[in-house]
Structures are given as C-alpha cells and as structure tokens.
Amino acid sequence: MISAFVDGFVELQGWLLDRVVQPPLLAMGMGSHLEMAFDGVEFFLCGVLQLAAAYLLLRPLEALRPIEVWTDRRAVRVDVLYSFLDRLGVIPLLMFALLAPLFALVDGWLRFEGIIPPQLEDLVPALESRPLASFVAYLILIDFAEYWRHRLSHTLRWWWALHAIHHSQRQMTLWTDSRNHLLDDLSSGFWFALMALLIGVPPGQFVGLLIAVRTVENLSHVNARLSFGRLGERLLVSPRYHRWHHALELPTGRQYRFGCNFPVLFPVWDQIFGTQYLAQEMPSTGLSDGPLPESAAQSGFWRQQWEGIQALLATFRPNPHRR
C-alpha cells in the first residue's frame, strides 16, 4: 500500500513537472533548474498533503473541543492565506531565490580561500551510514537552533517588531503557525542557511524533517483542549505548552522579560535555559501591548506587512520611553 502511494505520488509529481513546470522553464532558458523544480513540485505536493491532513484531523478537534468559541472567525482567514502561501511553497521559493545566491557566493568564496565548511558527519562519521541516527541528530540540532532563533526574535527589538505579527492573532488556530511577516520569514531563512553552512545541510530525509517540524507546529497552535499528559508535555511541545508562549498575560512574577516556552519540538531547551512556564489553564492569546497597532489582530495580509515594516522602522528611531 505504501509502495502504491509512493508510486502514485511520484507519477503525479512527474505529470505536474511535465505539463506545468517544465514548458515555461525550458522556454525561459532555465532548463538547468529542472531538477530543483522537480524537488519543488515534491515540496508543493507534500504541502497539499499536510494542509489536507491538518484540516481533516485538527479542524474537527477544534470544532469538538474548542478552547475558545468565536462567533466571528473572519480574523482567522488571513492565517489560512498565510498557511497556503507557506505550505504550498510560494514564500519558501521567494526566500530561497533571495538567499541561495548569497550563500552560494559566501560558500564559493570560502572554498577559494581553502576553507570547506564543516559537516556534522565530519565530526561524527558514524552518522553517514545510520539514517535513523542521522535523522534524530539533525532533528535535535535544528530544534536547538530554532529555540535560539525564536528566542532572539523575541529579544532583538527589530526582530520582535516583525515577529509580533505572529503574536498579534487573538484567535489562535491550527492555521496561525504560518502567520509571519515576510521579513521575519527572510530572517528565519537566513538563520537556517547559516546553520546549514556551519553544520551542513540535513541529509536525504530533509522532507521528513520538515514534515515532523511542521506537523508539531500545526498541532501546537490548535484551538482545542488537548493534553499530552504530565510527562508528555515535558517531552514534546503541546497546544497548552505553546499557548502560554502566545499568552496575552503571564501571572505576576512569572513574566520573563522576553517571553517563555520558545521551542518548536522539545521543551527541554526551556528547562535548560530557564525559560519554561507550565500551567494547567488555557490562557487567552494575543498582544497586550507592543510594537503593533491594535488593528493588526484584524488586518489583512498586505496591511499586516505594512504594519510590520512601520514597526520595524520605529525601532530605529530614538525613543526614550521604549522598553
């Protein structure tokens, strides 16, 4: 059955490449990008499957066991748009087009200087022949890097001005994960590319890694009463755990200056670096104050992008009252 599914998937991937992607690429003299385009089609199809799985599995949960019930769900629509742009590859393609040439230039320059950027496998050669161990190692490293990226996006004022778009949603749902300012996406892409340059790109299971991360990210934003249990919540980021990251308010004495509960997958990073907050309640989400206007919670895509840029520019202006 799995084999039949893979065959069907590959056939559809090939058909889309042949009929939709290849003709314009060849016509534009971009035939050398066909292999990358084939991978891009795979990314798109995986995105379709992910969106379908998220909707079919998580949306019923939101309907059956909601944390919050809203009569007007219009504010959620923009998050759906973000999810489609992100999962179907539009935003990743844009980021790749912007960052790949830059990093190829840096990488190429390093090689001419006699420096070959290191690989994780150079340090641990045993990983080369152990795909499962390699998958786990990269998953842990990526999550560690993501913890610090996320924490920095709450710490650096300019980054927080952009990342606040993600936190401005008061109706947090499974779609909220992709609600990010484009410059926030670019900064995240830069972070990932930097990591790839420092430890190497993840191996052949990259798509598997991406699916694992994104599935947990969808789940952690879901508007449903889901419990992973006392132990489970300490092992994997749950909707409750991540909801406290998005909390409108934290209890007195528990406010960390720049937030709490930063990891994407494993809460252990919070435990190690002292940024964890655990509680049984399901708090309201959104921004109580911050760099964005109140309207950001209701804004459409382009307006949010503009509001983010305004907030970013404001961080470079002198303001003695700023936190």
Partner 1 sequence: MIPCPVSSILRLTGKLLVVLLLTWNIAAEAGLAIALNSAEGTISLIDTETYEVTGKVTVCKEPHHLMPTPDDKSVIVACAAANQLVFFDPVSGREQKRIRDISDPYQLGYSPDRKWFVATSLRLDRVDLYDPVDFRLKARLPAPRAPSHMAFDNASEFVFVTLQDSNEVMAIHLGTQKIAWVMPVAATPAGIVMAPDNRYLLVASMGEGVVEVIEWRFQTSVRKVATDTAAHNLQPRGDGRHFFVSNRTVNGSISLLDTKTMTVVDKFDVPGGPDDMMVRADGKELWATARFARKVQVIDLTTKKLKISIPVGSSPHGVFFLNHAGLR
**In the complex with partner 1, which residue's Cβ is closer, 121 or 233?**
121
Interacting residue with partner 1 among 84, 94, 99, 119 (CB under 8 A): 119
- CA separation, residue 289 to residues 61, 121, 296, 301, 318 (Å): 31, 45, 12, 21, 19
User: Distance between alpha carbon 302 and the CA centroid of its chain, in Å?
Assistant: 20
Q: What are the backbone dihedrals phi and psi of residue 3, each rounded to the nearest 5 degrees, phi first? A: -65, -40
Token pair for 44: 């798109």
Interface characters, 126-155, with partner 1 (x: CB under 8 A): --xxxx--x---------------------
> CB–CB of 223/68 below 8 Å?
yes
Q: Quick one: DSSP state of residue 179?
A: -
Which uninterrupted H or E stretch holds 293?
none
Q: Is 26 in the site for partner 1 (CB under 8 A)?
A: yes
Q: Is 122 in the site for partner 1 (CB under 8 A)?
A: yes
Q: Is 18 in the site for partner 1 (CB under 8 A)?
A: yes
Q: Is 112 in the site for partner 1 (CB under 8 A)?
A: yes
Q: Is 251 in the site for partner 1 (CB under 8 A)?
A: no
Question: Is 23 strand, coil or helix?
Answer: helix
**In the complex with partner 1, which residue's Cβ is closer, 64 or 126?**
126
* Min separation Cβ 265 and partner 1, Å: 22
Q: Which of residues 75-104 bind partner 1 (CB under 8 A)?
A: 104
Q: Is 39 in the site for partner 1 (CB under 8 A)?
A: yes
Which residues pair with residue 224 across a beta bridge? 66
Find the farthest-apart pair of alpha carbons in the chain and give their distance in angstroms, rounded: 64
Interface characters, 155-174, with partner 1 (x: CB under 8 A): --------------------
Q: Is 24 in the site for partner 1 (CB under 8 A)?
A: no
Sequence-distant (6+) residues with CB within 8 A of 303 are 295
- Binding segment for partner 1 among 17-25, 83-91, 164-172, 224-232 (CB under 8 A)? 17-25
Candidates 252, 136, 144; CA nearest to 191 is 144
Count of residues near partner 1 by CB under 8 A: 37
Token pair for 68: 């919050």
- Binding segment for partner 1 among 108-116, 161-169, 187-195, 224-232 (CB under 8 A)? 108-116
Q: Is 201 in the site for partner 1 (CB under 8 A)?
A: yes
- Binding segment for partner 1 among 25-33, 74-82, 176-184, 267-275 (CB under 8 A)? 25-33
Candidates 265, 173, 254; CA nearest to 213 is 265
- Binding segment for partner 1 among 33-41, 70-78, 157-165, 260-268 (CB under 8 A)? 33-41
Q: Is 29 in the site for partner 1 (CB under 8 A)?
A: yes
Task: State the alpha helices, DSSP H only, in 72-201.
Answer: 74-87, 90-112, 120-123, 131-155, 157-167, 182-199
Token pair for 160: 């927080």
Q: Is 13 in the site for partner 1 (CB under 8 A)?
A: yes
**Distance between first and last Cα of the chain:** 57
Interface characters, 282-321, with partner 1 (x: CB under 8 A): ----------------------------------------
Q: Quick one: DSSP state of residue 272?
A: H
Binding site for partner 1 (CB under 8 A): 6, 10-11, 13-15, 17-18, 22, 26, 29-32, 34-35, 38-39, 104, 107-108, 111-112, 116, 119, 121-122, 128-131, 134, 200-201, 203-205
